[in-house]
A and B are shown apart, each in its own frame.
Chain A
Amino acid sequence: MNGGVDRTPSGRVDACVVGAGPAGALVAAELASAGYDVVVLDAGPRFDPADREARMERHLRPGDREPVWDMGGERDAYSATGAREYPLNAARVKGVGGSTLHWQGMVMRLHEQDFRLDSELGVATDWPLSYDDLRPYYAAAEEELSVAGASDNPFAPPRETPHPLPAFPPSYSDSLFAEACEELGIATHSVPNARNSEPTDEGGACVGYGTCKPVCPSGAKYDATRHVARAEADGARVVDRAPVQRLVHDDAGDRVTAAVYATPDGTEHRQEAREFVVAAGGVETPRLLLLSKSERYPDGLANSSGLVGRYFTDHLFAGVGGTLDEPTRQKHVGFNTTESHQFYDRSDGARGAIKLEFLNYAGPAPADVATGAETFGDDLLAEIRGAYGNRIAVGGLVEQYPRAENRVRLDPSRTDAHGNPVPDVVWSLDRRTRATIERANEIQRSILEEMGTDVDWTVGPENTGPAFHHMGTTRMGTDPDESVVAPTLRTHDLANLSVVGSSAFVTGGAMNPTLTIAALALKASDHVAERL
């Protein structure tokens, strides 16, 4: 017992899930609802929903250096030794709910072309499954996440049913973009949001706090605590503050026998199970496999291909912004309501996918200006009037094709709070990614100039940053020499070990990955259940 919480292991259970983010929570909920005994181990704490307004203030007010979701310190130490700095802790969350506590909540399906880039364009690698294979799981995932959306996107892949909730209507700001886009022949459409546009059994409708990322105080934005609650209601056991140190296997090296985890008092425990599912995100998942090396597997578990940690891929942000000579009505909500996927599918391999986002939150809010201003009273009000009101911006995500040299590996020179080597994120941009960012900027600038915007900032190839979508580090495939997991999400090397999440992505497109993570989690759950 630690502080009144029992963190000792259960007896041998049907399934042990590592990670209580969206992938792990969905797997746990699915398996528990089917009657299986499930234990979920998460490295971080169980956050109290009553604290969310206070966490919001951490985000909105300067001066308090506490991270919104308590990330940082020895527990979360990391290295970044690639050509590009990688601020790993900026957007991930360790704890029950995982990074969905922080995320924006944008949920699009990948396009059909995303699954067959090699076949169609001769670039990257095909997925071992098609859009049609994943399509029913996408529909189920949209139900699970209560996605608010509309079928008005002419570029979206085929779908069979409407979204569970109606889309959020376009913003006033969107209407300013619409005219310019129409003039330029750019089609715009709604955004699928994992955010309640209407109340559901699990959460109220969005009330417009405007701080979706990094925290939704009302709970209208989907986060994985919903599926954790469902799993627990069906008998699953969720153990927080229980970071898994390593997985151990049987003598033959065929099956994982236990997850060894630590508790806050420093004790190590072993949770045994018939099936193991690692769902710890695109960085911690490969790290755990590498930390689980043994005499039988000296290069790490499930790593006979040598690809665990390889092909680390992210999306890049591209954006252009400025001021209009009229009010733009920004910052009322913290999510977007219009996008364009017109430039998504690639005509050749020269560039990657581009997803355009018309921002509803360009520029600073009044409190941002006030709390950093050097003026007070009426002078301050005048300063705020100058800074807020006319800002406008187009952002977007840009695809990065996977490259083996981008990787997550262990840094033996640094250890975390438990003495384990920290993850080293080796990340860089290639020429084609830069060219895609430049093309995105070109489109963005043309829209803003058509509107008469005085453009004053650009995020391009030199100052871009990651979208914190960690993908590719345990890639899926049918050839055990070229991939880590099979299309069932089970590792090639160990018969009862699955890896679920964006680390299984073969390519990442330019869509926010969580809906695909959820679809894969539901698919993996079916396969685990088949084996149990």
Chain B
Amino acid sequence: MELDRRDLLTALAATGAGSTAGCSSTRRQATDGGDVSDHDADTLVALAEVLYPSSVSNVGEFVREYSLERVAADAEYAAGVAEAVGSLDEYVSEWHDVPYAELPTVERGEILRHMTVDTADPDPDGVARERIRYYLVNELLYAFYTTPTGAGLVGLENPPGHPGGTRSYRRGPDS
């Protein structure tokens, strides 16, 4: 199952990053954009490889383009991502000499569980594991499972947040 350009555009639409204006009080604010560093992008890809099903390919391109596009529209989000990546690397540094993005895949999953990111409530203003859950983990999960490819893995080709038209709801599972 390959993530394609359509999924990227879908993910951007679902997050509002495709729009040119922003809510005055929302975190998806279209303020002056910020840069996402190569390291932040590498970390998001490394996380996505753990978070997404193993059958999904083209994860790196999807995440890099998605994150870059999104951050270009939202400086506040960029800062949140960068700070959360820093927190994740800081936690990893207690056991390893490399940042999270350079860990073997199996250890990336273990780190998330050890840090209890898996059970953390997503909270952009919370403690480190809650911010990681919000800015990194849920960001990636939300992007993936609001695409036809992600939700389509469970039989929903037009998930909430995706403007997939008004035909699929009429179709049966075998059509």
Contacts and interface: CB of A to CB of B under 8 A. Distances in A.
A369 B159 CA distance: 12
Nearest to A365: B160
B29 to A, nearest CB: 8
Interface string A171-184: 11101000000000
Given A172-B171, A208-B168, A374-B118, A60 B163 contact: no
B156 A366 contact: yes
A57 B15 contact: yes
A66 B15 CA distance: 15
Contacts of A332: 156-158, 164, 168-169
Interface in A77-136: none
Contacts of A329: 155, 169, 171-173
B161 A60 contact: yes
Contacts of A377: 50-54, 109
Interface stretch (A221-229, A343-351, A381-389, A410-418): A381-389
B37 interface: no
A66 B119 CA distance: 22
Contacts, number: 195
Interface residues of A, number: 61
A61 to B, nearest CB: 5
A171 B169 contact: yes
A56 B138 CA distance: 16
Given A51-B26, A54-B26, A209-B160, A60 B142 contact: yes
A175 B163 CA distance: 23
B122 A60 contact: no
Given A58-B26, A63-B122, A377-B54, A50 B156 contact: no
Contacts of B172: 172, 175, 327, 329
A169 interface: yes
B133 A51 contact: no
B166 A50 contact: no
Given A63-B123, A66-B27, A365 B159 contact: yes
A527 B20 CA distance: 43
B124 interface: yes
Interface in A188-224: 197, 205-211, 217-218
A327 B170 contact: no
A60 B14 contact: yes
Report whether over half of chain B's contact residues are helix, strand or loop; otherwise say mixed: loop
Contacts of A7: none
B169 A64 contact: no
B62 interface: no
Given A63-B124, A366-B145, A327 B112 contact: no
A366 B52 contact: no
A470 B54 CA distance: 50
Nearest to B161: A60
Interface stretch (B38-46, B81-89, B94-102, B146-154): B146-154
Interface string B8-35: 0000011110111111011111000000
B27 A64 contact: yes
B14 A53 contact: yes
Interface string B109-151: 1001000001101111000000001100110011011100011
B138 A206 contact: no
B146 A367 contact: yes
Contact of A385 (B22, B154, B162, B170): B154
Contacts of A295: none
Contacts of B169: 171-173, 208, 329, 332-333, 337, 360
A209 B161 CA distance: 5
B173 A378 contact: no
A326 B22 CA distance: 41
Given A51-B19, A169-B170, A333-B166, A376 B158 contact: no
Contact of A370 (B13, B145, B156, B164): B145
Chain A contact residues, majority secondary structure: loop
Given A370-B141, A377-B50, A331 B28 contact: no
Nearest to B122: A63
In the complex, which range does the number of interface residues on chain B fall in?
Answer: 35 or more
A481 interface: no
A55 B159 CA distance: 17
A48 interface: yes
B104 interface: no
Nearest to B174: A327
B54 A378 contact: yes
A48 B25 CA distance: 12
Nearest to B173: A327
A374 B133 CA distance: 11
Contacts of A64: 26-27, 124, 134
Interface in A377-402: 377-378, 380-381, 384-385, 388-389
A62 interface: yes
Q: Taking each of A53, A208, A365, A367, which has the highest tally of chain B beta carbons within 10 Å of its own beta carbon?
A: A367
A70 interface: yes
A10 interface: no
Nearest to B52: A377
Nearest to B54: A378
Nearest to A197: B166
Given A53-B13, A332-B156, A384 B22 contact: no
A57 B25 CA distance: 13
B142 A366 contact: no
Contacts of B161: 56-57, 60, 209-211, 367
Interface string A310-353: 00000000000000001101111110010000000000000000
Nearest to A385: B154
Interface of A: 48, 50-51, 53-58, 60-64, 66, 70, 168-173, 175, 197, 205-211, 217-218, 326-327, 329-334, 337, 360, 365-367, 369-371, 373-378, 380-381, 384-385, 388-389
8 contacts: A205-B166, A207-B164, A207-B165, A208-B162, A366-B153, A378-B53, A380-B53, A384-B154
10 cross-chain pairs, A with B, having the tightest CB-CB distances, nearest first:
A63-B122, A332-B169, A54-B16, A210-B160, A53-B16, A50-B21, A327-B173, A54-B28, A207-B163, A367-B145
Given A208-B169, A329-B171, A365-B145, 4 more contacts: A63-B122, A63-B134, A326-B173, A366-B156
